[in-house]
Amino acid sequence: MRLNILFGGKAGQGVNKTSDIVSNLLAKQGYYIFDYKDSPSLIRGGHNFNILSISDEELGSNESSIDVMVALDDKTISIHKAEMKKQGLLISAKGFEGIGMNLNIALVGALIKTLGIKEGVLLDEVTGLGKDAVSAAKKGYQSQKKMFDLPKLNNRINVMDGSKAVATGAVNSKIGFYTFYPMTPSTKVANDLVVLQKEKGHKVFQAESEIAVINTALGASFTGARVMIGTSGGGFDLMAEGLSFQGISEIPLVVYLASRSGPGTGMPTYTAQSDLDDALRAGHGEFPRVVIAPGDAIEAIENTNEAFYLSEKFNSLSIILSDKHLAESRFSFSSRLKSPIKIPERKNAGRVVKASSYEHDSFGNTVEDPNNCRINAEGRIKKYEKIKKECEKFEMIKTHGNLRSKNLIIGWGSTKHAIIDAIKGLDFKFLQVIYMKPLSDEIRKEIEKADKVILVEGNVTGQLGRLIREKTGLKIKNRILKYDGRPFLSDELKKQLRGMIK
């Protein structure tokens, strides 16, 4: 069973709230959900919509056609009517004209009735919103007839967006200090950490600029705090000099980079996987780093923990590479999380040590002799080899689908579940790359075993494909690339993949 439900309306009408209430309710009923949020860079007006996909089996993507449309305004109907299935159901604001601010709650009630879920379940979900909301929910529920049959299931489902997952991973790592400058779509991690700071004891600080963010973070980390910073796109560019400072000072630092569509300001509220090159290479000079790209909420929790571990163990830079689609979408899962990795405690050097951006001796004193420069440069590269060996303890890659198939898909990050959903019923093996740096040696072996290799990425140049070619010498000729600011849809991707193996 699978249903795709679209919620649409103006910014400020509560589209996200509507979708959140329904997805939370359905998860409590034992259904898996995936909730995608689409909005222009506007605070009021325009057109916002969410697509909530629900199933009795695991899923993590949307499809191109809609089973139910919940329209808070007429514009939603005109924009999306072509996406509706022939037998699709429309739930509109008609008949609720006088209900005011609780229109969205009334439409929630109407939808829940059509899904065949009991009224008591609905009222339990909206009771905390006040008497007017409860009244609106009842009115909506009574306005419809049962159209679908969604009985309660025994699955125990958790729901979390990618931003909350990164924040959770940081808390599990006993973060001490998080600093940021607001930039879509990275800001929500800061908001989630703010909520937890009294309970967990960490501090969240909004600096005056991205340059201030990274320098403040390096100072805090130098004093012994466990530190993470967050940014997107152009903010990360401004931090490039600070990244090099980290490289020569070897002060532990974790960076959360939530990509969005660029270059420049681009489309600030839409998604892209186009910052991989930037994450791999930003900063002048040569120094080690780790770049990890989770594909869903569970991986975001666990990979963030791994990023802290590696940064603290090796006094290095760890970058968690996300994007708008992963950061803002809500994922459901029933599997258990791994126990958090214990982060190494820093040892007291027992002596005064300085840190600056200059080449230095073991005390941090500035030196410029060629022998010292050579030893330090070689030491940084040797440390990278140690990091690579340590990373082999973790899942640097994952495989999905038919593990014996000779048709191999390679992808990463937020494309994960669209690919997994697309290859159901098809003869494909999917190799998900999680660690971008260091890159697993197993990737070459998987490519060499395959008859056909297809690269799937959310950028225009195939950046992972280029990285693989750089590291292995193997070029991936077959590519499916998407770069319109929107994520892959699993049914459209299925058609493309089916066509490539005929």
Taking only the tens place, the pLDDT of each residue in 91-134 is 999 988 878 899 999 999 999 999 999 999 999 999 999 999 99
| CA separation for the pair 388, 435 (Å, rounded) | 10
Cα–Cα distance measured from residue 422 to residue 488, given in angstroms and rounded to the nearest whole number: 10
Read off the pLDDT of residues 369-398 as tens digits, 9 standing for 90 and up. Answer: 999 999 999 999 999 999 999 999 999 999
Residue 473: Cβ within 10 Å count: 8
Is the bond into 263 cis (omega within 30 degrees of 0)? Answer: yes
pLDDT of residue 362: 86
**Side chain identity at residue 389, one-letter code:** K
- 306 with 170: CB under 8 angstroms? no
- CB-side neighbour CA atoms (13 Å) of 95: 13
Using the CB atoms, write b or e for 253-282: b if 16+ within 10 Å. bbbbbbbbbbeeeebbbbbbbbbbebbbeb
Instruction: Reduce the DSSP state of residue 430 to 3 states and report it.
Output: strand
The helix or strand, by DSSP H or E, that contains position 184, with its residue range, turns out to be none
pLDDT at 153 over 90: yes
Query: 401 near 420, Cβ under 8 Å?
Result: yes
Cα 277 from Cα 287, distance rounded (Å): 15
| Mean pLDDT, the chain, whole residue set | 95
DSSP designation for 72? S
Structure tokens at 80: 């999306």
Alpha-helical segments (H) within 59-209 = 74-80, 103-114, 119-126, 131-142, 162-172, 187-200
**SS3 at position 425:** coil
Closest CA to 340 of 317, 308, 314: 308
* CA 291 – CA 311 distance, rounded (Å): 11
- Across residues 13-34, what is the average pLDDT? 96
Q: Sheet containing 478-481: give its strands across.
A: 397-401, 429-433, 407-412, 452-457, 478-481
Residue from 57, 37, 50, 17 nearest 332 by CA: 57
pTM score of the predicted model: 0.96
Residue type, 105: I
Residue 267 DSSP one-character state: B
Band (88; pLDDT cuts 50, 70, 90): very high
The CA distance from 62 to 414, in Å, is: 12
Question: What domains can be seen in the chain, in order of their start residue?
Answer: 2-142 (3.40.920.10), 160-335+354-391 (3.40.50.970), 397-500 (3.40.50.920)
CA-only gyration radius of the chain, Å:
24
- Token pair of 214 as six digits: 């990274």
Within 10 angstroms of residue 109's Cβ, the number of other Cβ atoms is 28
Mean pLDDT of 4-22: 95
Of 258, 134, 249, nearest in space to 189 by CA: 258
d(CA 38, CA 42): 11
pLDDT in tens, 175-224: 999 999 999 999 999 999 999 999 999 999 999 999 999 999 999 999 99
Task: Convert 172-203 to b/e letters by CB count within 10 Å (16 or more is b).
Answer: bbbbbbbbbbebbbbbbbbebbeebeeeeebe
CA distance 138 to 22: 15
How far is Cα 72 from Cα 103, in angstroms, rounded to an integer? 7
pLDDT digits (tens, 9 = 90+) for 329-377: 999 999 888 999 999 998 876 677 889 999 999 888 999 999 999 999 9
**Closest residue by Cα to residue 399 from 434, 429, 379, 362:** 429
Tell me: the pLDDT tens digits for 427-460? 999 999 999 999 999 999 999 999 999 999 999 9
Distance CA 298, CA 333 (A): 8
Torsion of the alpha carbons at 450, 451, 457 and 462, rounded to the nearest 10 = 100
Per the DSSP assignment, residues forming a β-bridge with 303 are none
Strands lying side by side in the sheet with 158-161: 84-92, 66-71, 2-11, 45-55, 32-38, 330-333, 158-161
68: which strand partners?
5, 89
pLDDT of residue 349: 64
Given a cut of 90, whether residue 44 has pLDDT beyond it is no
Nearest to 230 by CA among 261, 196, 204, 266: 204
Report the helix count and the strand count for the chain, using DSSP H and E: 18, 19
